[in-house]
A = this chain, B = another copy of it.
Amino acid sequence: MDRSRAQGKWAFEANPVLIITDASVINVAMPRVTPPDRREAILAAAREEFAARGFAAARMGDIARRVGISRPALYLQFDSKEAIFAALVGGLIADVIPDEPPGLDKTQSAAALLRMFIAAAFVRFTRSDFAFVPRIIAGEGQNFPELARYYHDEAIVRVLDRVEAVLRMGVARGEFACADAHHAARSVIGGIFLSAMWRAVFEPVGGEPIDLDAMARAHADLVFNGLLSRKEPTP
């Protein structure tokens, strides 16, 4: 699936080249050095195109043009359009959802941990270079079951698990009263997910803009206090 490993190093030096025909020297060229980040350049271009048109409607030619290379050159780095897409999404997920944290920081309150998580998640999931991922997974995931599955496993479930863990910790400590931490975690993520989708889907087509800060605050507020009036103060 990934040809870059099998193809050795980036061989050319940036040295002059003489092109000679049978008659005479006709050119002195400085070959464009293939940089090690050619793959990155492709992925960046692919992100733009996939974000703008979706997987099916994106065209390899546009990606290549954006990179400034020829279409076949794409295939030197990736096996197929699908491979580019998979690498791109995989990378973004790995980027946005960092590997297992060292466990919960027990010195902090569950509420504090959750509040931090929500704030961070709002920022990460709505990053403009990532927001298209859930969108495209949603729209074309059926055509890439493994990829959708990967996103599910590595992005969604992992995040949900972490939230659930915090919730359970809070319950254990008496901070939280939550009968169903498993599903409550989905409620917590729901507000974030909706916001990310909003930004990626509706804003570009002229929907009303969303104020992410206000949304993050309101969401946290609801998550902690609920709607019902109460006497006691909130932390």
Interface residues, chain A, with chain B CB atoms under 8 Å away: 13, 15-23, 51-54, 56-57, 111, 114, 134-143, 145, 148-149, 152, 156-157, 167, 170, 174-180, 182-184, 186-195, 197-198, 200-202, 204-208, 210-211, 214-215, 217-219, 221-232, 234-235
Contacts and interface: CB of A to CB of B under 8 A. Distances in A.
Given A54-B142, A145-B204, A177-B229, 10 more contacts: A16-B21, A51-B142, A56-B57, A136-B139, A142-B204, A176-B227, A179-B221, A186-B195, A186-B210, A189-B194
Contact of A225 (B136, B177, B231, B234): B177
A188 to B, nearest CB: 8
A31 to B, nearest CB: 8
A183 B218 contact: yes
Contact of A227 (B53, B177, B198, B214): B177
